[in-house]
């Protein structure tokens, strides 16, 4: 969230960015509540100060009658404090709730526009492959190489589930290993994380209350399934003060992700592009505010290195104000071309969230050689999302008979050069 102080001092900017995001947020109500809060706070704190002083005096008073007079007086003060406190609590509860609804401010570089049609194409890298035959979509290739089984996934778990077996299961694992190793080599610390988090953790990361409809949760206990590893990474340092000299901290981890995609039944139904459960390799950075712009560039470069090494054509988009995520001030998406289904697949989203999540999750750090504490900036980027990268490899490396070449970088992980066609 944005700090109250920031909203107070930059109200116009905050309101303008909310409009640019094509959304709404109760900024005026927050400003009003803030003023009410401070007015009451001054009264109630003055009364508390009085009670503290007098109560201490009562302890030191020997005269019983004198004590009794003061106790009665303080009883009245106590009643008044309670009355004011009740009002204050109500205001603070509403204030907190409303603060949770305000999205991050926008970086000035963010293109303006109401929805995804205004996203800006930054760069296209690699030539789109030309095939001397009609390239097949991955669900057909999956049948030919005999590793994709959508029906049995649906049988055990319903629609939007599938199973992989044999070389395709192995291809996914190879990609995960490959990406973890690549990012690890670049200095990112590998992390293994919980896949279920408490409700408080989901609030801290900004998933709740807004995205409740997209989350799976345990029926009886306080556990939510992570929709992305980002949620866990944010909570790594929740309610902590990071000692001086530790930033930047760069992490990478692989987790499954669980999302309730309650979208219209007709969209993205073919194949495995969008499921309720998928794998993802995620990068996450904690850094000092002065570093976050450079760290975002570095994260995008990290993410891009994967399709580049794999020889997959991709493009980079700068998300516009209407499409950018709630927590983010600036986001780049990476999309890989899938020639079989003739579509760009989003495989990464790299975002600078500034100190937005740090405020929400109560994360501070000690700057070296300086007094006090500051809020770190936090960034995240997929590196990359999995079944989609599997799709991209399958569709870009397919051959006429439906067999699939294994990109050179993956061959050591796969132990094979070609995924053979077993059904013609």
Partner RNA sequence: GGAGGGGUCGCAUAGUGGUCUAGUGCGCCCGCCUGCUAAGCGGGUUCCGGGGUAACUCGGUCGAGGGUUCAAAUCCCUCCCCCUCCGCCA
Q: Mind telling me the catalytic residues?
A: 259, 274, 346, 349, 388
Query: Beta strand pairing status for 189-191 and 249-258?
Result: parallel
236-253 burial code (b ≥16 CB/10 A, e <16): ebbeeebeeeebbbbbbb
What residues make contact with RNA under the rule CB under 7 A?
A: 3-5, 38, 41-42, 45-46, 48-49, 51-56, 58-60, 71, 74-75, 77-78, 241, 364, 372-373
Rounded to 5°, the CA angle 297-195-276 comes to 85
Between CA 285 and CA 207 the distance in angstroms is: 18
Structure token digits, residue 189: 């610390």
Between CA 419 and CA 398 the distance in angstroms is: 9
List Cβ neighbours of 218 (8 Å cut-off, separation of 6 or more).
Answer: 196, 224
Between CA 313 and CA 80 the distance in angstroms is: 69
Between CA 225 and CA 3 the distance in angstroms is: 28
Q: Map residue 192 onto helix, strand or coil.
A: coil
Element (H, E) at 9: helix 4-9
Closer by beta carbon to RNA, 75 or else 83 = 75
Between CA 257 and CA 348 the distance in angstroms is: 14
């Amino acid at each position: 969230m944005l700090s109250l102080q920031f909203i107070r001092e930059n109200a116009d900017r905050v309101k303008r960015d909310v409009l640019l995001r094509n959304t709404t947020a109760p900024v005026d109500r927050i400003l009003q509540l803030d003023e009410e809060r401070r007015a009451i706070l001054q009264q109630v704190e003055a009364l508390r100060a009085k009670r503290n002083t007098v109560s201490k005096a009562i302890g030191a008073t020997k005269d019983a009658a004198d004590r009794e007079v003061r106790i009665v007086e303080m009883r009245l003060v106590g009643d008044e404090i309670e009355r004011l406190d009740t009002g204050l609590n109500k205001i603070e509860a509403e204030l907190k709730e409303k603060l949770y609804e305000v999205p991050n401010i926008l970086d000035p570089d963010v293109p303006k526009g109401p929805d995804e049609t205004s996203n800006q194409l930054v760069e296209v890298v690699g030539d789109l492959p030309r095939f001397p035959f009609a390239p097949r979509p991955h669900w057909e290739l999956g049948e030919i190489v005999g590793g994709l089984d959508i029906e049995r996934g649906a049988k055990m778990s319903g629609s939007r589930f599938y199973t992989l077996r044999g070389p395709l299961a192995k291809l996914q694992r190879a990609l995960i290993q490959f990406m973890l190793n690549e990012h690890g080599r670049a200095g990112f610390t590998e992390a293994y994380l919980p896949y279920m988090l408490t409700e408080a953790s989901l609030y801290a990361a900004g998933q709740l209350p807004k995205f409740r409809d997209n989350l799976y949760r345990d029926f009886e206990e306080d556990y939510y399934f992570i929709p992305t590893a980002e949620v866990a990474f944010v909570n790594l340092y929740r309610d902590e003060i990071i000692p001086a000299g530790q930033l930047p901290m760069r992490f990478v981890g692989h987790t499954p992700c669980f999302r309730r995609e309650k979208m219209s039944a007709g969209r993205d139904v073919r194949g495995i592009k969008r499921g309720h459960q998928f794998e993802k390799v995620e990068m996450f950075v904690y850094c000092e505010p002065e570093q976050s712009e450079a760290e975002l560039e570095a994260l995008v470069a990290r993410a891009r290195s994967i399709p580049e090494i794999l020889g997959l054509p991709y493009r980079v988009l700068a998300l516009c104000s209407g499409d950018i995520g709630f927590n983010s001030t600036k986001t780049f998406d990476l999309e890989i071309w899938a020639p079989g289904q003739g579509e760009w697949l989003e495989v990464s989203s790299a975002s600078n969230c500034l100190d937005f999540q740090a405020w929400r999750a109560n994360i501070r750090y000690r700057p070296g050689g300086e007094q006090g504490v500051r809020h770190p900036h936090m960034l995240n980027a997929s590196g990359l999302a999995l079944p989609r990268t599997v799709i991209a490899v399958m569709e870009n490396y397919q051959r006429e008979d439906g067999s699939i070449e294994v990109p050179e970088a993956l061959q050591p992980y796969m132990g094979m050069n070609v995924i053979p066609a077993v059904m013609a």
